[in-house]
Amino acid sequence: MFGFGKKKIEFVAPFAGTVVPVSEVPDPMFAGKMLGDGYAVIPYDDADQLAVVAPADGTLVKVFKTGHAFSMKTAEGVEVLVHIGLETVELKGQGFTILQESGSVTAGTPLVEVDLAAVREAGLNPITIVVFTKKGQIADVAVKAGATGAHPAAVATLA
């Protein structure tokens, strides 16, 4: 009833930036949690390149051929989607370098490199969204909003 004894999983930011709740993403599909609850990270304005890392330990399930998104499953079975930028699929892979396509990963493993300058030159928003896509897996998400640091970006409580 109160969540006592429920398993909690810590998720890191996929890169340095400012963490915000998914409800603050300037896209109605993500902000409305249609793909799931989660959090997002806004890269710092002075960043030109990003190494996007795994937000948790688990298995990399799929990396989209354009490099703009990937999905993974945590060791606890939680399904996670990381979407790099808004409308970045339109770049057709330009500015994205896939570093790993499948297999086991640990939190912090670099998976995709992004040329932020190319994303911004195309007029696209580089905010990166991390959502828990399978309904019923997550009971609550506590987002640690603000600048990334030593703490996790979010803690998800399993249902």
CB neighbours of 142 closer than 8 A, spacing ≥ 6? 154, 155, 156, 157
Q: What is the pLDDT of residue 149?
A: 66
List the beta bridge partners of residue 105.
58
Q: What is the pLDDT of residue 5?
A: 65
Q: What is the pLDDT of residue 4?
A: 59
Q: What is the pLDDT of residue 1?
A: 45
Exposure string (b/e) for 52-79, b if CB count within 10 Å is 16 or more? bbbbbbbebeebbebbbbbbbebeeebb
Q: How far apart are CA 9 and CA 96, in angstroms?
A: 28
Q: How far apart are CA 137 and CA 71, in angstroms?
A: 15
Catalytic residue among 50, 64, 83, 84: 83
Q: How far apart are CA 119 and CA 18, in angstroms?
A: 18
Provide the token pair at 86.
């808004």
Provide the token pair at 91.
């770049």
Provide the token pair at 14.
């996929």
Active site residue 83: yes
Q: Is the pTM of this model over 0.75?
A: yes
Q: What is the pLDDT of residue 31?
A: 97
φ, ψ of residue 24 to 5 degrees: the values are -95, 5
Average pLDDT by stretches of 10, the chain with 159 residues: 72 94 96 96 94 96 97 96 97 97 96 96 97 93 84 85
Q: What is the pLDDT of residue 150?
A: 56
Question: Which stretches of 12-57 are assigned E, i.e. beta strand?
Answer: 17-21, 37-43, 49-53
